[in-house]
Chain A
């Protein structure tokens, strides 16, 4: 069974601080996605990484896919209250199925 473990589960930080969220597995994934989900809404795709070692930047967010394609990280620089939400990683399993991680709930305090 493929599992994706995210850490930390909960994170509360002050506005302006930096943070890193991790997504780890013992399985290899052909691609990995990061989503942000706000209360009462569905997940919204932030990025897809495909190549081992790949780094993608989205404004203050930096995403990295591990060389072995088993893990990924999300780094947020100078966090803002608008970054508050549930961050989910999802690994492509097989042809079309995605395995979702356990989630990291981030709260950024003004």
Chain B
């Protein structure tokens, strides 16, 4: 069973460019979560998506950040006009979407390390 896959694993962007981070959930999982981790810190919730729906984006910065989880294909976290402060590790997690909520285990991907020069 393939786990949660994220690509790229490392991404370097210059200030002002766009960053696109991809997440393929585990097979059969329909719920996706994105988290951001700054060096030496815990993970911060960004957004929770189900197929074609954003359920909660309360952790997303109001500008430049967007996320989608289309009917087909991976979930995408998009950061426009990146700034140095966006440098971090971005983790995606998925869950089956059967039991619902915190009763479900979230399985994490290996993360994408974004470096903004």
Question: Is the Cβ of B102 less than 8 Å from the Cβ of A95?
Answer: yes
A45 within 8 A of B: yes
- Complex CA gap A48/B109 in Å reads 19
Residue of A nearest to B44 (CB): A100
Is A55 an interface residue when CB atoms closer than 8 A count as contact?
no
CA A6 to CA B102, docked complex, whole Å: 21
Within 8 A of B (CB), among A27-52: 30-31, 35, 40-45, 48
- A96's partner among B56, B110, B111 (CB-CB below 8 A) is B56
Q: Which of A4, A42, A100: most chain B Cβ within 10 A?
A: A42
Whether, in the assembled complex, A99 has its beta carbon less than 8 Å from a beta carbon of chain B, the answer is: yes
Is A88 among interface residues, defined by CB-CB distance under 8 A? yes
Chain B hits for A30, CB < 8 A: 102
Quick check: B56 and A97 within 8 Å, CB to CB? Answer: yes
**0/1 per residue, A1-29, Cβ < 8 Å to B?**
00010100000000000000000000000
A contact residues around B4 at 8 Å (CB): 42
Residue of A nearest to B95 (CB): A96
Please, which residues of chain A bring their CB within 8 A of the CB of B100? 95-96
Complex-state Cα separation, A85 to B111, whole angstroms? 16
Assess whether B42 is in contact with A102, with CB atoms less than 8 Å apart: yes
Q: Does B12 contact A (CB under 8 A)?
A: no
Interface residue from A6, A42, A48 paired with B91 (Cβ < 8 Å): A42
Q: Does B108 contact A98, Cβ atoms closer than 8 Å?
A: no
Q: Is the CB of B91 within 8 A of A96?
A: no
Chain A residues, CB < 8 A from B40: 103, 105
Instruction: Give residues 67-85 of B contacting A (CB, 8 Å).
Output: none
Residue contact B42 to A31, C-beta cutoff 8 Å? no
Interchain CA distance A30-B105 in the complex, whole Å: 14
Closest to A45 in B: B105
Do A92 and B102 touch (CB < 8 A)?
A: yes
**A98 and B105 in contact, given A42-B4, A43-B91, A88-B43 (Cβ under 8 angstroms):** no
CA–CA, A5 and B31, complex, Å: 28
